[in-house]
């Protein structure tokens, strides 16, 4: 007789971080919106904004609530208030902008201080479609070793490696979760279930505009 297996899932809040202009919003847009729906490239983000994405890893759905943050320095203190309960982060730099790779350290430190060490991370060198010099390999290696993450190059414009970023991250989330919950891999409640949608990653999004506002913080519906 066939047995009904309960669907296994992990809910996880993910931050997308990096200097202004590196392509964070465009990456997220390309990941969550079918290409025919993209009519214009994103404008600079003025707050935080989230979208949902799901990847199936082995028998488990990793449901990610992905927060796109504003890279402009003036928003940094506000952005940090959204770090709470984040279990994963995408660190983005621009392959044509050396400073943006140096800036990644700032975000890595913030993630470590505010979210702890057990945050799944991936480092993304974006805009690989543009002519660029080889990025500083020693620095990339240093980040990857120190913060235990993989490195991938992408182009949001040409949709190169966009899905791969989130598949790799979901795998890391899954592995970390399995390692910390060896008996019960299916149950993780980094987020209340009603905050992460199932299959359609673009089906939900929340935009919080911080322009001209003094810490207009969303009422705490972050992770539990
Ligand atoms: N050629 C190229 N341009 C890109 C790529 N990704 C983003 N851009 C362009 O870079 C600019 C900035 O992209 P955004 O996605 O707004 O950058 P952001 O990191 O979200 O910036 P903030 O919201 O200010 O933090 C836009 O003009 C995009 O069209 C890419 O892969 N290739
Ligand atoms: Mg943006």
Determine if ligand 1 sits within 6 Å of the CB of residue 196. Answer: no
For ligand 2, the distance from its centroid to the CA atom of residue 160, given in whole angstroms, is 18
Instruction: Kindly report the protein residue whose alpha carbon is nearest to atom 13 of ligand 1.
Output: 23
Domain CATH code at residue 140: 3.40.50.300
Residues near ligand 2 ion, CB 5 Å cutoff: 24-25, 45
Ligand 1 contact, 46 CB (< 6 A): no
The CA 163 to ligand 2 mean position distance, Å, reads: 18
What pLDDT is attached to residue 41? 78
Kindly report the average pLDDT of the chain as a whole number: 84
Atom of ligand 1 nearest to the CA of 68: 20
Q: Which atom of ligand 1 is nearest to the CA of 71?
A: 25
State pLDDT tens for residues 35-93: 667 777 788 988 788 999 999 999 999 999 999 999 999 988 888 888 989 999 999 99
Residue 2 covered by a domain: no
Q: Is residue 202 part of a domain?
A: no
For residues 132 and 95, is the Cβ–Cβ distance under 8 A? yes
* pTM of this structure: 0.85
Question: How many angstroms is it from 201 CA to the middle of ligand 1?
Answer: 20
**The pLDDT of residue 213:** 45
Q: According to the model, what pLDDT value does residue 43 have?
A: 87
Lowest mean pLDDT among 69-78, 83-92, 108-117, 176-185: 176-185
Q: How far apart are CA 13 and CA 35, in angstroms?
A: 24
Separation of alpha carbons 113 and 188, rounded Å: 22
Residue from 116, 126, 114, 128 nearest 90 by CA: 126
Domain that holds residue 115: 10-180
**220 belongs to a structural domain:** no
Nearest-angstrom CA–CA distance, 174 and 36: 31
Q: Between 50 and 196, whose confidence is greater?
A: 50
CA 64 to chain centre: 8
Residue 204 included in any domain: no
> Is the residue at 193 inside a domain?
no
71 found inside a domain: yes
In percent, the amount of the chain with pLDDT more than 90 equals 62
Is residue 212 one of the residues assigned to a domain? no
Nearest to 124 by CA among 1, 48, 30: 30
H/E element holding 102?
helix 98-115
Query: In terms of Cα–Cα distance, which of 199, 224, 221, 205 is closest to 50?
Result: 205
Q: Are strands 60-69 and 120-126 parallel, antiparallel or unpaired?
A: unpaired
CA 98 / ligand 2 centre spacing (Å): 19
The pLDDT of residue 196 is 44
- Domain count of the chain? 1
Residue 191 lies in a domain: no
For residue range 19-35, list pLDDT tens digits in order.
999 999 999 999 998 76
Backbone phi and psi for residue 209, each to the nearest 5 degrees, phi listed first: -90, 120
Q: How many CB atoms lie within 10 A of CB 124?
A: 31
Residue 180 CA: distances (Å) to CA of 93, 176, 177, 187? 30, 6, 5, 11
Cβ atoms within 10 A of the Cβ of 133, count? 8
């Amino acid at each position: 007789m066939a047995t009904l297996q309960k669907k296994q899932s992990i809910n996880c809040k993910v931050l997308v971080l990096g200097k202004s202009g590196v392509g964070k919003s465009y990456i997220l847009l390309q990941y969550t919106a079918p290409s025919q729906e993209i009519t214009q490239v994103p404008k600079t983000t003025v707050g935080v904004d989230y979208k949902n994405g799901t990847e199936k890893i082995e028998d488990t759905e990793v449901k990610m609530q992905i927060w796109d943050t504003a890279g402009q320095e003036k928003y940094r203190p506000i952005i940090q208030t959204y770090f709470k309960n984040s279990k994963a982060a995408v660190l983005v730099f621009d392959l044509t902008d050396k400073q943006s790779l140096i800036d990644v350290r700032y975000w890595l430190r913030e993630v470590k201080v505010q979210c702890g060490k057990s945050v799944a991370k991936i480092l993304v060198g974006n805009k690989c479609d543009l002519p660029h010099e080889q990025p500083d390999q020693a620095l990339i290696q240093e980040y990857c070793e120190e913060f235990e993450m993989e490195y991938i190059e992408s182009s949001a414009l040409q949709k190169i490696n966009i899905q791969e970023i989130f598949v790799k991250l979901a795998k890391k989330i899954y592995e970390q979760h399995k390692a910390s919950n060896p008996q019960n891999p299916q149950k993780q409640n980094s987020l209340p279930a009603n905050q992460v949608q199932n299959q359609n990653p673009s089906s939900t999004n929340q935009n919080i505009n911080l322009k001209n506002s003094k810490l207009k913080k969303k009422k705490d519906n972050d992770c539990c």
